[in-house]
């Protein structure tokens, strides 16, 4: 049986909020089967739970923001991406600020945290959201699509008309039957442009952004002294974001995702369009792991007992 997963132990981290610029403390705790991913604003009295849920996403400017009764929690997509990439189904995430820490701008530090805590299987079947027919959303020349696929793969293309971006790879396809989330996606950092900083900060955004937690470009080049981690790091970060945004569905997908110039808003609209069509999806489990799709068996290998 492909089983649900949680953490073996509690683990803590601190960092800075990308948009708020304030110090954030984060605690990840194991959770019982069928709990899902639950964020908890522990700086409030009483604490407020915000469940990973596509219908709970409000603001999508520069991040995916969960909202409930006026309470917000922003920039959840990188941690959600890491949880999806490592197959964690159930976890409580305590945070003492209105935003998760940006860390180094990628999902890599979150992967390290999860691996340090340890991951264990639980005595409950892992439930997948299997796409049964194609669903697509559009916004001008931007689009995103989910199609049936016996595994999980993503294809993404970007257009920025910027020399530092356009000279890199601007299209990528990742199939987790063959590719590794940790090796091929997790280290790709978020990015931004110096000419946008003043406007963003006027909106209360990017107040914590720096060369330590983002790829920053002027009109012509990358300003980070170390350059890029990957030759197509920009588009791979878009895939990283999409994986996190899609995991807000509450279950890992069995699907092929493809997109052109998509972002948090369109990714969320796609999930809502999928879930709104009851004929387009179903929840499935695999009692016999040997009969699971090859890509899924590769992505979720059986863990060793604790």
Catalytic position from the list 19, 260, 264, 298: 264
Give the largest Cα separation in the chain, rounded.
55
197-203 — which CB contacts under 8 Å span 24+ positions? 200/62, 203/61
Q: Is 78 a known ligand-binding residue?
A: yes
- Residue with structure tokens 């369109």? 266
Those residues whose C-beta lies under 8 Å from the C-beta of residue 183, and which sit 6 or more positions away, are: none
**Catalytic (active site) residue 264:** yes
| Among 148, 146, 165, 279, CA closest to 218 | 165
Distance of CA 215 to CAs 20, 102, 174, 187, Å?
18, 13, 22, 12
Dist. CA 304–CA 306, nearest whole Å: 6
Q: Is 232 a known ligand-binding residue?
A: no
Dist. CA 226–CA 114, nearest whole Å: 26
Annotated binding site: 78, 237, 241
Residues annotated as catalytic (active site), given as ranges: 264
Residue numbers belonging to the annotated binding site for Zn(2+): 78, 237, 241
């Amino acid at each position: 049986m492909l089983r649900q997963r949680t953490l073996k132990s509690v683990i803590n981290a601190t960092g800075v909020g990308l948009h708020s610029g304030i110090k954030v403390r984060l605690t990840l705790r194991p959770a019982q089967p069928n709990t899902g991913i639950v964020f908890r604003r522990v700086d409030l009295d009483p604490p407020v739970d915000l469940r990973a849920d596509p219908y709970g996403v409000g603001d999508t400017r520069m991040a995916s923001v969960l909202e409930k009764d006026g309470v917000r929690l922003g920039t959840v997509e990188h941690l959600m991406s890491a949880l999806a990439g490592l197959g964690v189904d159930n976890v409580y995430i305590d945070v003492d600020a209105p935003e998760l820490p940006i860390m180094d701008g990628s999902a890599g530090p979150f992967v390290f945290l999860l691996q340090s805590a340890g991951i264990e299987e639980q005595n409950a079947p892992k439930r997948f959201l299997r796409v049964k027919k194609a669903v697509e959303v559009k916004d001008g020349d931007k689009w995103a699509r989910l199609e049936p696929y016996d595994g999980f793969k993503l294809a993404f293309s970007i257009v920025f008309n910027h020399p530092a971006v356009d000279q890199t790879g601007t299209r990528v396809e990742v199939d987790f039957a063959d590719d590794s989330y940790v090796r091929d996606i997790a280290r790709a950092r978020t990015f931004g442009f110096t000419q946008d900083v003043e406007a963003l900060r006027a909106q209360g955004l990017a107040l914590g952004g720096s060369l330590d937690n983002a790829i920053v470009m002027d009109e012509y080049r990358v300003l980070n002294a170390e350059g890029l981690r990957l030759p197509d790091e920009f588009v791979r970060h878009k895939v990283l974001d999409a994986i996190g945004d899609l995991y807000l569905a509450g279950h890992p997908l069995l699907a092929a995702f493809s997109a052109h110039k998509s972002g948090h808003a369109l990714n969320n609209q796609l999930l809502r369009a999928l879930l709104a069509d009851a004929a387009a999806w179903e929840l499935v489990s695999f009692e016999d792991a040997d009969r699971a799709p090859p890509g899924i068996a590769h992505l979720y290998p059986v863990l060793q007992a604790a």
